[in-house]
Amino acid sequence: MAAPSQTTATTTHHRVLLPSHHHHRAVPPSLLRLPLRAARRGRLSAAAAAAAPAASTAAPSEPAAGAVPGKPTVLVAEKLGAAGLELLRGFANVDCSYGLSPEELRAKIPLCDALIVRSGTKVGRDVFEASGGRLRVVGRAGVGIDNVDLAAATEHGCLVVNAPTANTVAAAEHGIALLTAMSRNIAQADASLKAGKWQRNKYVGVSLVGKTLAILGFGKVGSEVARRAKGLGMHVIAHDPYASADRAHAIGVELVSMEDALTTADFISLHMPLTPATNKMLNDETFAKMKKGVRIINVARGGVIDEDALVRALDSGIVAQAALDVFTKEPPAPDSKLVLHENVTVTPHLGASTVEAQEGVAIEIAEAVIGALKGELAASAVNAPMVPAEVLSELAPYVVLAEKLGRLAVQLVAGGGGIKSVKVTYASARAPDDLDTRLLRAMITKGLIEPISSVFVNLVNADFTAKQRGVRITEERILLDGSPETPIDYIQVHIAHVESKFPSAISESGEITVEGKVKDGIPHLTKVGSFQVDVSLEGSLILCRQVDQPGMIGAVGSVLGEENVNVSFMSVGRIAPRKHAVMAIGVDEEPKKSTLTKIGEIPAIEEFVFLKL
């Protein structure tokens, strides 16, 4: 079987002259439902309400003893601060089970809606498969997520959140503590004195002033280490292919190549995640490039160093000293040559171990998990599209519009399946660089895929599911002249190479086309095929194509009234008088099939379709 084609986002730009005349109303707080702490962090994801299903697709399980029916269940698999547990218990049933074996974890997970771990619990594909679809959120109480299988989480529609800010300072402080302790032989001198020895000459250290510190990985922790090292009078350089030169310059740090970092540094501090690209990044080959007598600090991940190679570098004198808080296997073996080496200072993974950091991480991850279970915006989601807070606030009503247009378009496809090519058009007076459409594209994808997918689809796995179905999604920008009073004038969704159950939805280009705008903060449908309409996208919708003649609105309205179906709005669009028109009717409830049949029997009605929004 051929592999499905990949979902792609191709962007093109056009300039046309169209008026932009809609005013943007302030977004109501109820639409955002953004936790205060998340707002302060300033990074939001597209998790939103779709991050978790309203009801699990898994078979129902018996609640744990003492559990409150109707509340979600959160399994806390590793120790969490009391403040975080208190928050969780106010919202959910909390099961604190520490030190679970893989078998025990798989046995418990079908009863859980969320799982919270630190670095010691591996959350692999087997865990997501064992959950039977119930697990909606995995919270990592800390920064690194290399112990969570993100691909498996995404495939199973499970949101993964972490706590990226609370322990940043603690980790940076520990890195500096190891740097200074190593450079002055603090641990060795302490042990010697406690053993009854007075060896001042043996433990002569090295000064930090004027020395070059290379930071490999210039993220949050790396940046904080740099600030503190500058205060110690060190010359700081950094290597990170994703770091901003402006941000580095603001701190007084020079970004350099990996080669320059390795060959010029007196001290090297590691601050990158463990990935296939960083696994054993420091090895025999890279140690050979370093200055003789270099000193290594690692408070990131043990696997980024080849520990056997580090022992060889220490024995040869290439590396004078190492200070390590993390190891490839934790805890390391009691007879580990690296741990027992006289020129190595070690701590048992204490980077985040301050009272303040532990409580901060507990609160941060508890808030993230609770918010995700509520369907709120997850500021720290690691497997969902991320957009800045100010962009999310401005685009909030367009997010609703985007999903509804996707949902509307796919329901117009005859049979629902066979979709291979979708184009999304955004019309805006803003320059392409000033319009972030990632969130909108994710919501359109969700709207397109969820009604025709056999599995639950949310923003986490929408793109994956689209790829599995071989759907290719492209994006197009139309640049409007005029003042950009609103971020977007209109959005169009085009589905090519399909037949429609409502042929009038086929535009002149031969594609199913729907268009929408935001008016006074409310999503509106403004075009179906080549017919202009204007109806609010609320409730459900009946589309009718009829001969444009007097009495048609009354005829359809009478049928709905007789069947006790409440009409919330109605709009008629036509291409020319007395030809053909499309009537869009909003209804508060789904009409019976017999009611729809009666509408179809009205002589001037040529076709109709009922659509759930």
CA–chain centroid gap for 175, Å, is: 28
CA distances from 326 to 214, 221, 318, 402 (A): 19, 15, 21, 45
The radius of gyration computed from the CA coordinates of the chain, to the nearest angstrom, equals 30
* Cα 554 from Cα 566, distance rounded (Å): 14
* Cα 448 from Cα 409, distance rounded (Å): 7
Closest CA to 242 of 232, 253, 255, 229: 255
CB neighbours of 35 closer than 8 A, spacing ≥ 6? 367, 371, 376, 377, 379
Residue type, 379: A
Question: Are the beta carbons of 245 and 255 closer than 8 angstroms?
Answer: yes
CB neighbours of 179 closer than 8 A, spacing ≥ 6? 208, 213, 229, 267, 269, 295, 297, 323
The residues assigned a catalytic role are 301, 330, 349
Closest CA to 558 of 514, 522, 506, 602: 602
* Cα 413 from Cα 503, distance rounded (Å): 9
The backbone region for 375, taken as left when phi is positive above 0, alpha when psi lies in -120 to 50, beta otherwise, is left
Question: Are the beta carbons of 483 and 431 closer than 8 angstroms?
Answer: no
Q: Any bridge partners for residue 75, and if so which?
A: 95, 115
Closest CA to 270 of 345, 223, 215: 215
